[in-house]
């Protein structure tokens, strides 16, 4: 797994850090990482999507497969994480009210 394809979930509270990794293109890996996070520290209420895939290449040499990989990481990765967290928060009755708002920030660049 290349480092550019890995998203880390990090939780800061009371000086605790919980590093977890998952390939954002693979929902099963997202599920496993979020399962562990939920078990150890609970559900997040802020998600910052910043996964990106980049190829240092002139445009005329960029293959369709390379472009597809970038799109898969940036767009599908953002959706995979946001949907999984959102569904968990709704199921826990924490994602639909002002007491526990759910915030998503997506910083996606291609």
CA dist 7 and 19 (Å) reads 10
- Per the CB < 8 A criterion, the answer to whether 45 and 102 are in contact is yes
pLDDT recorded at residue 34? 92
Instruction: Examine the pLDDT at 78 and tell me if it is beyond 80.
Output: yes
Specify the 3-state DSSP secondary structure of 45. coil
pLDDT digits (tens, 9 = 90+) for 17-37: 778 888 889 999 999 999 999
Task: Name the region of 30 (left: φ>0; alpha: ψ -120 to 50; beta: rest).
Answer: alpha
For residues 54 and 13, the model is more confident at 54
pLDDT digits (tens, 9 = 90+) for 89-103: 888 888 666 566 666
Domains, the chain, ranges and CATH? 3-106 (3.40.50.720)
């Amino acid at each position: 797994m290349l480092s550019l394809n890995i998203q880390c979930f990090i939780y800061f509270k009371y000086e605790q850090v919980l590093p977890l990794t998952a390939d954002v293109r693979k929902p099963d890996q997202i599920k496993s990482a979020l399962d562990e996070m939920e078990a150890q520290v609970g559900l997040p209420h802020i998600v910052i999507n910043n996964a990106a895939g980049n190829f240092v290449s002139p445009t005329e040499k960029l293959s369709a497969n390379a472009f597809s990989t970038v799109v898969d990481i940036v767009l599908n990765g953002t959706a995979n994480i946001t949907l999984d967290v959102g569904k968990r928060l709704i199921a826990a009755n924490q994602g639909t009210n002002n007491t526990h708002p759910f915030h998503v920030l997506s910083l996606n660049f291609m």
